[in-house]
Amino acid sequence: MISRFTYFKPHNLNEAVQYLEKEENAFVLAGGTDLMILLRRNLINAEHILDIKALPEMDLFNFVDGAGLTIGASVVVNRVVDSEVVSAKYPALHQAAASLASFQLRNRATVVGNICNASPGADLPPALLVYDAVVNITGPQGTRQVPLNEFFTGVKRTVLQRGELVVSVQLPEPGAGDKSVYLRQARLRGHDLATVGIACRLKPDGKVAIGIGAVAPTPKRLFALEDKINERGISKETIEWAAQEIREHIHPITDVRSSAQYRLQIASVLLKRGLLSLIGKEE
């Protein structure tokens, strides 16, 4: 790699923030499964690498009744996959996590890193979005909370300002009887980026939430579509209708993985399949 950097692994969050604020071309390292690729392909010129894995706040991974789930920035994806509480209360998140990259990469890749990398086709954001995830950010001006659906600003871009870093992502507790599912289409069964990834959630009050990746510059919650579905009320007929209507709510592009037309089609199929499974009806 061409980047020549210094390596800093602080044990204190303030030190980390000060370092990020002070140094030019500083990059945050958690699992490194995205950052190291950029470094090895010489796509970025890093002068400073800040390793956050010794910060105690970043290692937090717990579920509190009433408050919900908190996932710290150094929590790796396989910890989420193995978590019983995630499987029980946030099934779409479990499924998205289990489908991310390969087993070895999930031993390093972090949930928060998957958000911060802000790839349009990332697997975890659709699932986190349907749970109204909130991103906890700390920086020179103190801390702030940003809903995940406002966190992404473009391809590989986020609201993070210089000196800021994400400490954790927080998911409110779903009510009893809450259901969700994550479905993805890829070119092959193994390790591949999603062509389209979709998370569907059916809340106990019968309202749906839909999060989708790889059909727009950022992962998205389809609020307008959700409203229309919720107005009609969830049923087999509504789902048939929504599977067509979704085409008006997404703007996929053609790339190496798929044509835009195929993405429209597969988004329709996955939405139908996902919602039908949530109301207990298969295709």
Q: Rule CB under 8 A: which residues touch other proteins? A: 1-7, 9, 29, 32-33, 36-37, 39-42, 49, 51, 53, 78, 101-105, 107-108, 190-191
Single out the residue of 196, 283, 282 nearest to residue 246, CA to CA: 196
CB of 77 to other proteins, least distance (A): 12
With respect to other proteins, which residue has the nearer C-beta, 40 or 157?
40
Single out the residue of 124, 135, 242 nearest to residue 193, CA to CA: 124
Total residues belonging to the chain: 283
CB of 1 to other proteins, least distance (A): 6
Please name the residue that has the structure tokens 């990469």.
105
Instruction: Give the HSE-up count for residue 9: Cα atoms under 13 Å, Cβ half-sphere.
Output: 7
Which amino acid type is present at position 142? G
With respect to other proteins, which residue has the nearer C-beta, 176 or 256?
256
With respect to other proteins, which residue has the nearer C-beta, 142 or 190?
190
With respect to other proteins, which residue has the nearer C-beta, 30 or 183?
30
CA distances from 56 to 59, 146, 219, 223 (A): 6, 21, 29, 36
Task: Tell me which DSSP letter residue 46 carries.
Answer: -
Tell me the two tokens of residue 255: 């790339």
Helix axes 223-232, 236-245, angle to 10 degrees: 150
CB of 93 to other proteins, least distance (A): 18
With respect to other proteins, which residue has the nearer C-beta, 13 or 105?
105
Distance CA 14, CA 16 (A): 5
CB of 79 to other proteins, least distance (A): 10
CB of 108 to other proteins, least distance (A): 6
